[in-house]
Structure 1
């Protein structure tokens, strides 16, 4: 079985409070990758960065004092281009960078049917994508873990490249790295 994980493709990371031109540029590629995954029969999980009204009083909020992805707001929602594809798929709300729930669910799925490959796409390469890729690697050490660089964007282009290099050194396959952002 192959899995596709769509990490935090939310309005606040694309066009909202923490949006970037690079994030806006990857939306069409991410939408096409999800559509291709559906056609291929991949199991698809979406994650949503999820915070409460007390965000600024959390450890993350003290380090990044920009309210974002507050549950129930437009910024918290999956981007419009991916919303139809997310219907009927598992959506995991995560209060921090990595999702332990995702790791546990993948381990359970692997018990039922061997997971051969897990591909991650989304935002931000240097925070939540790398965190979840390493988490998946820990829960599924024998599965191939890959990141599609053409469907990811970092906080900056430099931090995106740095995260890709770090993931490579952890035996995570980086696909489409040469494509420009």
Structure 2
């Protein structure tokens, strides 16, 4: 079985408070990948509360985003419809990496060995790299990859830097 992890492709990271033109441009490619994918589908949601600006992350990134229940927290409509139709497992996470996602992939691998795990999403240099490295640490013998064409970073330079870090840690990067 193969797994695909869609990391934080939420309105605030696409066209909202932290959106970028790179995220908007990659979304159609990501949609095609998710639509064609056959296997276990996982989605992470960056999830904050009204107290975001009082958190450590809020002090370091004082831009309110992905507050549970708001438009910015939601997936873009077309992606939401697709992931719902495919029965994606959804994991809310209060910070960059999802411990719960890594644990779920370990459980799945124990019952039905995973052939590979691929990650796509936003932002390459924050949440994609965090989740890729957590998954690689939890399942070191399962091939983990990132599709660079279906990711976007805070900036193009940070996107490329994160891809280089992941390659250094034996996460395969496809372009």
Could you say which residue in structure 1 is the equivalent of 2:80? 83
Alignment partner of 1:52 is 2:39? no
* 3-state secondary structure, aligned to 2:16: coil
Check whether the contact 1:50–1:69 (CA below 8 A) recurs between aligned residues. yes
Could you say which residue in structure 1 is the equivalent of 2:157? 158
Check whether the contact 1:27–1:81 (CA below 8 A) recurs between aligned residues. no
Partner Cα separation in structure 1 for residue 62 and residue 90 of structure 2: 26
Q: Which segments of structure 1 move beyond 2 Å, counting only runs of 4 or more? A: none
Could you say which residue in structure 2 is the equivalent of 1:103? 102
Flag structure 2 segments of 5+ consecutive residues without an equivalent: none
Q: Quick one: which of 57, 61, 66 aligns to 2:58?
A: 61
Could you say which residue in structure 2 is the equivalent of 1:136? 135
Shift of the alpha carbon at 1:81? 2.3
TM-score by length of 1: 0.94
* 3-state secondary structure, aligned to 1:147: strand
Partner Cα separation in structure 2 for residue 58 and residue 156 of structure 1: 24
Could you say which residue in structure 2 is the equivalent of 1:17? 17
Partner Cα separation in structure 2 for residue 84 and residue 112 of structure 1: 28
Partner Cα separation in structure 2 for residue 91 and residue 110 of structure 1: 18
Flag structure 1 segments of 5+ consecutive residues without an equivalent: 177-181
Q: 1:125-149: CA deviations, max 9, x gaps?
A: 0000000000000111100000000
TM-score by length of 2: 0.98
* 3-state secondary structure, aligned to 1:118: strand
Equivalences, count: 173
Check whether the contact 1:121–1:151 (CA below 8 A) recurs between aligned residues. yes
Could you say which residue in structure 2 is the equivalent of 1:71? 68
